[in-house]
Amino acid sequence: MKHVISFLCVVSLILCARMPAQAQTMKEVWTSMPDSVMTLLTRNNRLDCLDYWEAGQEGRVTNRLDGEVRILFLSDDSLSVSDTGVSRYEVRLERKSGGALRNVTVRRVVISGDLTDWTERVYSPEWRLMHTRKKAGDTFEKELLKGTRYVE
């Protein structure tokens, strides 16, 4: 009986250790995000960017292609990051009624003149891709920015 209880304790510890921690704030999501979601930024780039932002600096780092990436806006549930002169990522957290994280939406917005193309990927809190949407030549950008203050 003692061996069975010990075995069950070890199995439950292993299972708990393998379960991903569900990030609850945008800062936690930003730092725990897999590199595959934003391929130009490593985890260290994201941590540095956040450290600069929290220190009241511009939050600007160099990406894998020697381009400049900077945080434009950060709140508990949303983030805007410029990764090139014409594109940026918008990250939003959607919560369940109890406040637990439901999913993470990552939208890559590319602006070309008056037109805006975007690709939106929705992930579970464990970073499993749930679905993808794309739209080309949309004027969504104007709606996205209404009522939101961004650093220019």
**What confidence tens digit (pLDDT) does each residue in 48-67 have?**
999 999 998 887 888 888 88
Q: Please name the residues in contact with 24: beta carbons below 8 A apart, sequence gap of 6 or more.
A: 100, 101
How many residues are given for the chain? 152
pTM of the model: 0.70
* Average predicted confidence (pLDDT) for the chain: 78
Annotated domain spans of the chain = 22-145
Q: How many CB atoms lie within 10 A of CB 107?
A: 19
Chain position carrying tokens 């957290």: 93
